[in-house]
Chains A and B, each alone.
Chain A
Amino acid sequence: MLTMNNLVKHRGNQEILSGISFRARPGRVTGFLGPNGAGKSSTLRILLGLDRATSGSALINGKTFAELHNPLATVGAALDGFGAHRMRTGRAHLRWIARAAGLSNSRVEEVLKIVGLTNAADKRVGKYSLGMGRRLGMAAALLGDPKILILDEPVNGLDPEGIRWIRTFLRERAQSGNTVLLSSHLMGELAETVDDVVIIKHGTIVADGTLEEVIGNHSTLEKAFFALTSEHAGEVV
C-alpha cells in the first residue's frame, strides 16, 4: 500500500504540491495523471525518498522509503530517463544494483531476458534507443522482484509491441496482488491498463477514484481528464 498524506512541497517561493493525499492499493494498477508540471514527478520523487517534502508524508507499507530494510525487494522504481551512466554497459549497470541488494548475477540475466535486452546487454547505455533505455529502467525495477512498482511514464518511447508487453505485464503483476502506481500522459494506454485513477492539477488532486468513477458521465478517460484539468474545471470528483 502506498499512502500520500497531505504532501506539501515548496521550491523557492513556489508551492508545487499543495496537500496531496491519495492511496495506491495492492492488487490494483493506479494511474497518476496530470498535465506537464502538475506535480506528478515531484510526488513520485518524494515517495521514493529522492526529494524531501516540506510537510506531510509519503509512506510505503507504513514506512518512509529510507526506513525500508530491503528497498529493492520492496519497491521497483523507474523514473524518467535511463537512470544509468551513459558509458557503462546495461549489464554492468544492473550488476552493481544487484550487488548492492545482495542479488546474484543470474538474476540480472533473468531480468534482461524479461525485458528483452539480453542481446544489447553489453552495449554502452549511451548507444541505447529511448525504448531500450525504458526497458533497462524496467529491468532495474524488477531486479528485486518487488511487490510494489512505481513507474513514471513507463510506455514513453516504447514501440507498439513494447507498449502491449508492459500493459499485459502490469495487469499480471496487479492480478497477483502487487501494487502498481504509474504516471502517464497517454490516456488511451492508461484507460486500458489502470483500475484506479488519480488526477493532479497545479499540485492539487482534482480526481481520485476507480476508472469508472473518474470517467463518470464522460465518454472516455481523455474527455474526463480535459474536463477536470481545464482552467475552469470544478472540484474533486
Chain B
Amino acid sequence: MSVSSSRKIMQIFGAELDKLITLPLIWLTLMSTFILNLALAAAFTSAGLQGTAGTQSILNIGLASMGYLQAGFIILGILATCSEYTGGQIRTTLTTIPWRGLQLSTKHLALAMITIPVAFIIAASGVLYTFIMIRDTAVVIEIDTIITTLIGATGYLTLTTLLSAAIGALLRRTTPALVVLLGYYFIVSPLMRIFLPGINKYLNYFPDTAGNYMYMPRSPDDINVLTPMQGTGISMLWTLMFITVAIVFYCKRDA
C-alpha cells in the first residue's frame, strides 16, 4: 500500500470518527445505556442481596443486565449507518468519499473504535457496582476471570453493534432496522428457545446465542454449550458475513 493510500484511509477514518462523535444521538444513546445499565445492575444486586446472593457470583449478578444492555448497542450500530440517510447526508458522503467499499468498511472500523472502550466501561460499571455492594456475601472470583469475562462481554457488545450497523446499511432506514433487530433479539429468539426446544442445539449457532458464550459462565450440566472461543468465532463469522453483504449491496445499488 502506498503512503498516499494509507494517508487517504486515515483521512477517511478520521472523517467517519468525526461523524460519529459530532452526532448528538450517539452520545444520547451511550449515556442512556450507561445509566440504564447502572439502574438494572442496582436492581439485580438488590434482588441478589435479598435472595440468594451467597450462592451467586459477582459476575453473574453484575452481567445479568447484558440481555437488556445490548439494546443500546443495537441502537448505536443502527444510528451509525442509518444517520447517513437523514437530510441527504449520503450524497455528501459519496461525493466526498466515492470509494464505497472503503467508506463503509472504515465506518465500521470507526464504530468499533468508539464501541470497544464504551462497552468495556459500561459492562465493567455493572460488575463494579455489584462488587462494591455485595463483596462480603457473594462468591469471590479471581480478578483474571473478571477481566476475561469483561473482555468477552466487550467483544460481544462490539460485534452486536457492528452487525447492527451492517443491517442498518442494508435497510437504510432506522425504524425498519430497529424493528428487525430488536424484534429478533428480544422476541423471536427468546420465543424460539421456549416454543421450539428441539432446535435449541442449532440456536447456539445464531449470533445472539453464540455471542452469549463469549462471556457467560458455562453450566456443567448443559450439553449444548460452546466454548468462549467457539462463541467468538461464530459471532465474528455472522458479523463479517453481514458486513460483506452490506458492502456488496452498498456498492451495487443507487445511493
Which A residues fall within an 8 A CB radius of B? 45, 48-52, 65-66, 68, 71-72, 75, 77, 79-89, 92-93, 95-97, 99-102, 125-126, 140
Partner of A50, one of B8, B97, B255: B255
In the complex, are the beta carbons of B7 and A102 less than 8 A apart? yes
Mark B1-35 against chain A: 1 for CB-CB distance below 8 A, else 0: 00000011001101100110011110000000000
From residue 154 to 184 of chain B, which have CB atoms closer than 8 A to chain A? Answer: none
Closest to A70 in B: B8
Question: A87-B25, A99-B15, A100-B12 in contact; A77/B95 too (CB < 8 A)?
Answer: yes
> Which 6 residue pairs spanning A and B have beta carbons closest together?
A100-B15, A81-B88, A92-B22, A96-B18, A51-B254, A83-B92
Given contacts A50-B255, A85-B87, contact A97 B99 (CB under 8 A): no
Selected contact of A82 from candidates B24, B25, B87, B254, CB within 8 Å: B87
**Considering the chains assembled together, what is the distance between the CA atoms of A186 and B22 in angstroms?**
36
B115 at interface by CB-CB < 8 Å: no
A88 with B95: CB separation less than 8 A: no
Instruction: Find out whether the CB atom of B88 lies under 8 angstroms from the CB atom of A49.
Output: no
Instruction: State A2–B149 Cα separation when bound (angstroms).
Output: 58
Q: Which residue of A lies closest to B95 (CB)?
A: A77
8 interchain pairs (CB within 8 A)? A50-B95, A66-B99, A68-B98, A80-B88, A96-B15, A99-B14, A100-B11, A101-B11
Q: B255 to A51, Cβ gap below 8 A? A: yes
**A96 pairs with B99, CB closer than 8 A:** no
Which of A89, A96, A126 counts the most chain B CB atoms within 10 A?
A96
A66-B96 in contact (CB<8A): no
Interface: B193 (CB within 8 A)? no
Given contacts A71-B98, A87-B25, A88-B22, contact A50 B15 (CB under 8 A): no
A51 to B25, CA, bound (A): 29
Given contacts A84-B89, A96-B18, A102-B11, 17 further A-B contacts (CB under 8 A): A48-B94, A50-B91, A50-B255, A51-B254, A51-B255, A79-B91, A81-B91, A85-B83, A85-B86, A85-B89, A86-B86, A95-B18, A96-B15, A96-B22, A97-B92, A100-B11, A100-B12
Q: Once bound together, how far apart are the Cα atoms of A188 and B223, in whole Å? A: 79
A75 near B18: Cβ-Cβ < 8 Å: no
What is the chain A residue whose CB lies nearest that of B22?
A92
- Distance in Å: Cβ of B125 to nearest Cβ of chain A: 27
Verify A82–B88 contact, CB threshold 8 A: yes
**Cβ contacts under 8 Å, A84 to chain B:** 87-89, 92
A83–B87 CB distance below 8 A: yes
Partner of A125, one of B15, B87, B252: B87
